[in-house]
Amino acid sequence: MIRSLPQAVALAVGLAAAASALAQPAAPVAKAPAPARVAVVNGIAIPKARVDVIVKAQTQQGQPDTEQLRTAIRERLIEMEILAQEATKKGLARSPELQAQLEIQRSQALASAYVQDFIKSHPVSDDSAKAEYAKLRSNAGEKEYKARHILVEKEDEAKDIIARLKKGEKFEELAKMSKDAGSKDHGGELDWNTPAGYVKPFADAMVKLEKGHYTETPVQSQFGWHVIQLDDVRAMKFPEFEEVKAELKQRLQQQELQKMVTDLRGKAKVQLQ
């Protein structure tokens, strides 16, 4: 339903309506076909283009383009235009806050248009996605490891845990002492992962372990001190390229966009006030 339009779209429409109410009619320089309109409110036209913009946003979210949708959008735009005109009569259009909102909305619309144009003119090729896939597959290695750990603040605490393990205490019980909130209540268990998924000191110690064994000396990382136990190892199950192609392209597109913004920021003369 039109009442459930995303806030960003609804705001854009509202600001556009306010801007329309503020605009002064320009002197015609030449006769030209009048743009298609869906309504005229107190002499102010509501262009069909506004309906088209909102319909496009809705269809991109899976809503079908129907006459019912267009009618609902038109009625909402009429209501917004009426309210915008009333706001102008009360002098609200001169509010610095509203002027700032209009400027922000204008900048957002232009920035979004530039990004969409960049994406269109810089598509990510299948070859680029395949190269990224090959790199990720190479970095992942051939094996996955299922481990558990206990993370503590000090080396002496880790040594004490190792001593208690040697005396026969259960790893799962001692894991309750871990400061890793995500695993402490699950016996310190971590999900299947490749060595690349862990910080290097952790990964280096883990891959040296035999199944069912734990590290007999504490392992230090930037997070603290670990006691690691290796539960199992299996051959790496890497998804096929076609399964992850869309995700890889999106990832590469985001990297290109970030690089573009960084480059433009580097060229821009920015003076902080």
Q: What is the pLDDT of residues 83-140, one digit of tens each?
A: 999 999 999 999 999 999 999 999 999 999 999 999 999 999 999 999 999 999 888 8
Give pLDDT, residue 30.
57
Cβ-based burial of 249 (10 A; exposed 0-12, middle 13-18, buried ≥19): middle
Q: What is the mean pLDDT of each run of 10 residues along the chain (273 residues)?
A: 41 40 46 83 96 94 95 96 96 93 95 96 97 91 94 98 97 97 96 93 97 97 98 93 96 97 96 93
Residue-range domain boundaries for the chain:
2-23+35-111, 122-136+239-273, 143-235
Cβ-based burial of 172 (10 A; exposed 0-12, middle 13-18, buried ≥19): middle
Q: What is the pLDDT of residues 16-33, one digit of tens each?
A: 443 443 334 444 555 667
Distance CA 118, CA 51 (A): 25
| CATH classification (class only), 143-235 | alpha beta
CB 195 within 8 A of CB 141: yes
